[in-house]
């Protein structure tokens, strides 16, 4: 964000459960509505159609879940940043919760410019661990991993291999395989849906009746050899909230709606989130 007389703030939020089918644009509308409900002193753009100064990070595909989504906003007047997660979450739909906030340093680069890689977890229905491990070994050994995908309404062939940093199979508490992947975001990112297709092709396994699931767990910014999460990378030294666990819709260690199904063992324990501080 550019320097101004306002207060630049970064929020971390989740997108879990049925709300995963809500589009990126509708998520943006939900936040704008929440800011109005809570009467936050938003800073606005100039011109004929002033808009609140809100900038979202990397878009999450419709149907995918995340515990690591981010947005930047600018406030015209100071507020207690520590209170923002509770205030904003109370006005958001079920499944979207703000779990962290920090005041940004002036002239902090945008999320779109700053994020270098993301981590995701993939659950491919009806694939056993041995088959999936073989597919991943072939993917990592390949010099190229071409796939036909759609960009701006046109079919194009893209090579996914340069963007793959790591692919590892873990087994969850239900003995189901889960792929932990880290992918670059530049020069072009990898759509999780394209990676799912590529792995199924390598496993020679067409899509069955089960549902493949995607969970984004981290976004990383690399600075001087260090890997930092967005709340750490560009915050001012004055304030930073601890990550929180919302009680909205939570029972024990997961939501009472089908959020994060298939990822129960991989979701962070609420106690672990609550204990994690932004240093």
pLDDT digits (tens, 9 = 90+) for 57-110: 999 999 999 999 999 999 999 999 999 999 999 999 999 999 999 999 988 999
In this prediction, residue 207 has a pLDDT band, given cuts at 50, 70 and 90, of low
Indicate the domain borders of the chain. Answer: 7-114+230-275, 125-211
- In the prediction, which pLDDT does 274 show? 34
pLDDT value of residue 3: 39
Structure tokens, 128: 């056993």
Residues 6+ apart with CB under 8 A from 236: 102, 103, 104, 105, 106
| Residue 213 pLDDT greater than 90, yes or no | yes
Class of domain 7-114+230-275: alpha beta
For residues 184-220, one letter each, b for 16 or more C-beta atoms within 10 angstroms of the residue's C-beta and e for the rest, the string is bbeeebbbbbbbbbbbbebbebeeeeeebbbbbbbbb
CA–CA separation, 181 and 168 (whole Å): 7
Say what the pLDDT of residue 152 is: 79
Q: At 74, phi and psi to the nearest 5?
A: -125, 130
Tens of pLDDT, residue by residue over 152-187, are 788 889 999 999 999 999 988 777 899 999 999 988
pLDDT > 90? residue 264: no
Specify the 3-state DSSP secondary structure of 17: helix
Give bridge partners of residue 140 from the DSSP assignment. none
Burial of 47 (0-12, 13-18, 19+ CB in 10 A): exposed
């Amino acid at each position: 964000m550019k320097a101004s007389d306002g207060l630049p703030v970064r929020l971390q939020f989740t997108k879990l459960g049925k709300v995963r089918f809500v589009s990126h644009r509708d998520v943006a509308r939900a936040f704008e509505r929440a800011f109005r409900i809570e009467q936050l002193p938003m800073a606005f753009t100039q011109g004929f159609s002033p808009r609140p100064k809100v900038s979202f990070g990397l878009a999450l595909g419709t149907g995918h879940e995340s515990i690591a989504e981010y947005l930047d906003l600018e406030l015209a007047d100071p507020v207690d940043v520590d209170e923002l997660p509770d205030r904003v979450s109370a006005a958001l739909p079920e499944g979207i919760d703000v779990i962290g906030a920090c005041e940004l340093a002036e002239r902090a680069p945008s999320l779109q410019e700053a994020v270098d890689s993301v981590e995701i977890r993939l659950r491919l229905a009806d694939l056993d661990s041995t088959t999936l491990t073989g597919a991943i070994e072939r993917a990592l050994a390949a010099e190229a991993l071409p796939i036909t995908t759609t960009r701006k309404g046109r079919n194009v062939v893209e090579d996914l291999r340069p963007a793959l940093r790591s692919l590892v199979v873990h087994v969850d508490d239900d003995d189901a395989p889960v792929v932990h992947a880290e992918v670059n975001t530049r020069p072009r990112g990898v759509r999780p849906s394209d990676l799912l297709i590529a792995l199924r092709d390598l496993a020679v396994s067409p899509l069955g009746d089960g549902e493949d699931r995607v969970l984004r767990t981290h976004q990383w910014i690399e600075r001087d050899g260090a890997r930092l999460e967005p709340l750490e990378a560009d915050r001012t030294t004055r304030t930073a909230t601890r990550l929180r666990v919302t009680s909205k819709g939570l029972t024990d260690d997961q939501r009472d709606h089908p959020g994060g199904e298939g990822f129960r063992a991989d979701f962070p324990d609420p106690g672990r989130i609550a204990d994690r501080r932004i240093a």
